[in-house]
Amino acid sequence: MEDYIGKICPFCKTEIKEGDAVKVCPACGIPHHEACWDENKGCTTFGCSEQHYEPQGTNPTDVCAICGAVLGDGQDFCPKCGTPKNAPKANVCGKCGAELAEGQEFCPKCGQKAGLTVDAGVAAKIGQMNAVTAKKNKKKLLIPIIAGAAVLVVVLILVLGGGGEKDFNKMFGDIADKSWCNIASDGSYMTIDTNPYDIDDYTEYEAYLMLDTINKDLGFSSALWNKMGETSAMDGRQTESNDNYTVSWKYHPDNGMDVTYERNN
Report the range of poorest mean pLDDT among 14-28, 68-82, 130-144, 151-165: 151-165
**How long a stretch of residues is the chain?**
265
Report the range of poorest mean pLDDT among 15-24, 115-124, 175-184, 215-224: 115-124
Burial class (CB in 10 A: 0-12, 13-18, 19+), 87: middle
CA-CA distance, 152 to 144, in Å (whole number)? 6
Residue 192 · residue 259 · CB < 8 Å: yes
Degrees (nearest 5) of the Cα angle 57, 61, 62? 75
- Nearest CA to 114 out of 137, 142, 90 is that of 90
CA-CA distance, 206 to 83, in Å (whole number)? 13
Sign, Cα dihedral of 45, 47, 51, 57: positive
Percent of the chain predicted with pLDDT > 90: 24
Helix, strand, coil tally for the chain in percent (to 5): 20, 20, 60
CA-CA distance, 128 to 223, in Å (whole number)? 22
* Element containing residue 256 per DSSP (H, E): strand 256-263
**Domain limits, the chain:** 2-40, 121-263
Q: What average pLDDT does the chain have?
A: 75
Degrees (nearest 5) of the Cα angle 186, 127, 141? 70
Q: At what angle do helices 121-137 and 205-217 cross, to 10 degrees?
A: 10
- Nearest CA to 164 out of 221, 246, 245 is that of 245
Cα 209 to chain centroid distance, Å, stands at 7
Residue 221 · residue 245 · CB < 8 Å: no
Per-residue confidence at 224, pLDDT binned at 50, 70, 90? very high
Cα distances from 11 to residues 34, 47, 81, 196, 246, in angstroms, run: 10, 15, 31, 46, 57
* Mean pLDDT, residues 132-147: 43
Degrees (nearest 5) of the Cα angle 259, 64, 193? 5
Sign, Cα dihedral of 55, 59, 60, 64: negative
Q: Render pLDDT for 106-135 as a digit per residue (tens, 0 to 9).
A: 777 766 666 544 444 444 544 454 455 455
Q: Is 213 helix (H, G, I), strand (E, B) or coil?
A: helix
Q: pTM above the 0.85 mark?
A: no
CA-CA distance, 64 to 83, in Å (whole number)? 7
Q: For residue 76, is pLDDT > 70?
A: yes
